[in-house]
A and B are shown apart, each in its own frame.
Chain A
Amino acid sequence: MFAYIIRKLVYNIPVYLAIVLLVMILLRQRDPVAGLLGKNADAKDYAAKKQELGLNRPFLIQYGDLLRSIFTFQFDEESWTQPGVTVGEKLVEAVPRSLALTVPALVLTSLISIVVAMISAFNRGRFLDKLLVFLAVLGMSISFLVYIIFGQYFGAYQLSQWLGRPVFSIHGYEPGLVNWAYYMLLPVLISVIVSMGYDTRFYRAVMVEETQRDYITTARAKGATRGKVMFVHMLRNAMIPIITRIMITLPFLVTGSILLEQFFGIPGMGYVLLSAIRNNDFPVVETFTAVFAGLFILSIIATDILYALFDPRVRLQ
């Protein structure tokens, strides 16, 4: 197993190098310095600025620089829009906020939708199944934006008006666990409601497929209980697609839900990244992008390892 992990890690290093390269090339399609200096700069200031920021150095050297800072976790480049604050500080600040929003959302969504999917799959074709699928489909058929706009209006504003005191925050963020429910619960609930439709449907399709496999019939024929069949036989076999699905969403835990953060004023990764893009905060965009890519790769490696754990045959490959 250990060797497998090492092999995966080594294999992914060139992938990551290529990603960082691609990111840098894409971000250099437009001149960031011109945007930074604004309209009051002349050519001399411009050249000086470029020199100061090291953006006139050969591309490969800049590339090496970025890689070094990523691999040594030294993100001490200064943000352009917020002088005196390094990119690393922004990362450290933003990541936990995004996680506080997305981790509970992912856990809740996954648990609820797997359970609902199992109920649905087991009752396939019956009224309950149809109802659940219909509800899931209904939920999926409405835009995320509509959920947010109405969620904020009814969940935060109307509810507060109705109860006569604020229940959920309409906008804003305070750190600290005690404040979590006030600021985060509503976005988390919205996020859960939004993703439940998708996940339930997906998991149900996976489960339905599994329920038709021969081994289920065999197990049932042998007298295994319903529960045992569900949890021991089926769930284990359905794990690969389930893990894949959860893993795909893992990196988005970090970028967070940009729209939710934007609407509810939670300064997480997505919020920071979006405002950096809008404000042409080049170092922040570049680093956040590269870090995001790194986390993504790590999550892929984790997926592969989990694959191998659940399905030992994969390891032999």
Chain B
Amino acid sequence: MKLDCWRTEPHVPLRCLRHSFLQTFLICLLLVPGLLECKQVMADQPIVLRLPMPTAGPNSLDPVRGSSQYDNIACGYVYESLLEYEYLKRPFELKPCLLESMPEVSEDGKTFRFKLREDIYFHDDPCFPDGKGRRLVTDDVFYSLKRMADNGNQPKAWWLMKDTIVGFDDYREQQNAAEDFDYDAPVEGMVKISDYEFEIVLAQPFYRFIYTLAMFQTAVLPHEAVDYYKEKFSKHPVGTGPFLMQRWDFGAKLVFVRNPSYRTMLYPADPGLNKDGSAPYTGYKEDVELGFYKDAGKRLPLADKVILTMFAENQPMWLKFLNRELDYSRVPAENFPQAFIKRRQKLRQSFKDMGIRAVPLPLLDFIYNGFNMEDPVFGGYDDKSKWLRQAISLTYDLEEINQAHYQGINLIYDGPIPNGMDGHPEGHQVANNYRGPNIPRAKKLLAKAGYPDGKGLPELVFYTSRQPASVEMAMMSKRNMAKIGVKMDVRSVDFATLSENLRKKTCPFFGLAWGSDYPDAENNLQLFYGPFKSPMSNNFNYDRAEYNELYEKVRVMQPSPERSAMYAKMRDMIIEDVPVIGAMARTRFYLIHSRLKNFKPEETFSNWPKYLTVQEP
């Protein structure tokens, strides 16, 4: 910097100053676009997907340690499970992935017989001799399942396997107690027939088991990788999937590249219309119109590289999408009115002109506020405590919350079963509901419960997340509750604190959400099963003998009208007892740039990246 200009006259320095800014500005203008140009030239040839991940991202790529939807997405690139979902078909349909064919189920529904494909090789990786991936065999499947039981792996998904496979629970107890976890010790219910054939025997014919096999937690991985990388394994995923992980900047970026040795998997063929001219599945015509079958028969994965960027904040993701630096984006609720005409939920013309396509995706969400049924005041099963909870439920104005925080696009429904599943009430509403706001009725019930105008009632302590929106929602509810004289004390805590308090059963009232793992209501109904009380998944500590009995029956039933009736009965029991106030389900809106092909958004499963490709218009 030319500081000596002081010497001549005092007013020159401003020019110095301008120089420094000019220099900075020149750096911006010259350096940056130049760099970008090189980048664009380089990126010309291979097909690169640039996808967002709306969170700080996964913490680990070890499937047994994963639990969130984001773990699921990330693991979906590198790992595969025995089964997967058909990409385009709706309603969901399972199909074999690592298997030759769908498993054969015995008459009593307890024994599953599997036949593995023989052309499946693990990723080429230094953990194998010569760095060449080995063929996948039966032992790998058993090994991977057993990893879910090994406490040394900090597994998060044991609940999927608990009480399911014959002898597996005992095996877990024994091995965790022993000095070393012995993966070679036998489990009664896992029977090896040959390297490519095996059987799994269940204790009871659980209907959900087949879905479990499509979940990413049951992905099959080689023991060599775990032995080789040891505690670093979660950073060096080795699976059978369509992509290899190339780079991982924790909390920022994940880069995957095509797995060159991926088995021959082809893009699904166009099933064509049924003979009677009807569509083979829901949404088929739209798929054809969108050209989803243009790539039929091509070898998967279609893309060479996927750059997955994590966004802890919504706004940067949204801006980057608008700037065409991302191929698609979810629409953050707060930006909904910017992109859509709210009245009709239709994309604005300016967005259509940019070649953007909008896809609404109703989620299998259960957003609720739950009571601790063991709380001395607000819990309990006698009439008075029931009336108290019903009164509180009647103060809730979910529509107000929906309008203020979700742009009115959420679905509000009664009971714990999300829309589209067996047991969801028709019209999203049951006759005997306690849906608010109905202040006069709430007041009456409160008086009946022995607390006229809230007199004598202690403060209701409500735990919610630190998210500003959650706090604001809680404040709305607090305001509404004050109308009948119930006082609420809102505690916004981080998720760890909330979990800790749930585990200790010290949250009288709390706000949480559950996203279904598989499209069956059993997944939500188990949240109220007595034996699953805290510290397991039943956060409400709801425990009613009739309910538990019903649950034990339905979980071993195949879909049938009988089962539907039982689901409805369980649902109504929950609605009447009000261990939970709710519920809401979000509709996620996806915006997709025209260059991204074959994208049909889905959040329940995540094997879709291999079908995607980009094509600049």
Contact = CB atoms under 8 A, between A and B. Distances in A.
Given A39-B534, A82-B60, A170 B10 contact: no
A78 B535 contact: no
Interface in B46-92: 56, 59-60, 62, 65
Nearest to A280: B496
B265 to A, nearest CB: 30
B503 A170 contact: no
A225 interface: yes
A37 B504 CA distance: 12
Contacts of B502: 39
Contact of B317 (A40, A171, A267): A171
Q: Which interface residue of A38, A48, A115, A152 has the most chain B CB atoms within 10 A?
A: A38
B251 interface: yes
Q: In the complex, which range does the number of interface residues on chain A fall in?
A: 35 or more
A248 to B, nearest CB: 23
Contact of A83 (B65, B159, B319): B65
B234 A84 contact: yes
Interface stretch (A137-145, A158-166, A249-257, A285-293): A158-166
A38 B13 CA distance: 61
Interface string A121-165: 011000010000000000000000000010011001100110001
A157 B319 contact: yes
A122 B252 contact: no
B16 A115 contact: yes
Contact of A35 (B231, B322, B497): B497
Given A39-B502, A128-B11, A227-B6, A115 B313 contact: no
A301 to B, nearest CB: 29
A65 interface: no
Interface in A261-278: 262-267, 271-272, 275, 278
Interface stretch (B29-37, B394-402, B405-413): B29-37
Nearest to A36: B496
B541 to A, nearest CB: 11
A263 B316 CA distance: 7
Contacts of A82: 59-60, 234-235, 250
Contact of B6 (A31, A83, A226, A265): A226
A contact patch SS:
helix
Contacts of B59: 81-83, 279
A1 interface: no
A38 to B, nearest CB: 5
Contacts of B536: 40
Interface stretch (A5-13, A19-27, A172-180, A203-211): A172-180
Contact of A160 (B230, B253, B323): B323
B7 A167 contact: no
B539 A170 contact: no
A41 interface: yes
B289 interface: no
B36 A182 contact: yes
Contacts of B534: 39
Contact of A167 (B6, B16, B32): B32
A185 interface: yes
A18 interface: no
A39 B249 contact: no
Interface stretch (B20-28, B339-347, B586-594): B20-28
B3 interface: yes
Contact of A265 (B3, B36, B316): B316
A111 B24 contact: no
A118 B24 CA distance: 21
A196 to B, nearest CB: 11
A276 to B, nearest CB: 10
B235 A85 contact: yes
B312 interface: yes
B310 interface: yes
A192 B535 CA distance: 50
Contacts of A168: 28, 32
Interface string B519-548: 000000000000000111101000000000
Nearest to A90: B250
A83 B60 contact: yes
Contacts of B20: 111-112, 115
Interface residues of B, number: 66
B231 A78 contact: yes
Contact of A84 (B16, B235, B312, B496): B235
B293 interface: no
B351 interface: no
Contacts of B11: 128
B325 A170 contact: yes
A288 B58 CA distance: 21
Interface string A55-80: 00000000000000000000000100
B499 interface: yes
A40 B231 contact: no
B319 A40 contact: no
Nearest to A175: B249
A85 B60 CA distance: 10
Contact of A181 (B28, B154, B250, B320): B28
Nearest to A111: B1
B232 interface: yes
A231 interface: yes
Contact of A166 (B13, B36, B233, B496): B36
B229 interface: yes
Nearest to B230: A84
B35 A182 contact: yes
A189 B35 contact: no
B250 A170 contact: no
Contacts of A166: 36, 323, 325
B35 A227 contact: no
Contacts of A167: 28, 32-33
Interface in B280-323: 309-313, 315-317, 319-320, 322-323
B27 A185 contact: yes
Given A173-B249, A231-B3, A267-B252, A84 B535 contact: no
B494 interface: yes
Contacts of A185: 27-28, 32
Interface of A: 30-31, 34-42, 45, 48, 78, 81-85, 90, 93, 108, 111-112, 115-116, 118-119, 122-123, 128, 149, 152-153, 156-157, 160-161, 165-168, 170-175, 178-179, 181-182, 185, 189, 225-227, 230-231, 262-267, 271-272, 275, 278-280
15 contacts: A31-B500, A35-B496, A39-B502, A39-B534, A40-B156, A40-B536, A45-B151, A83-B231, A119-B13, A152-B316, A160-B323, A167-B32, A185-B32, A227-B6, A230-B6
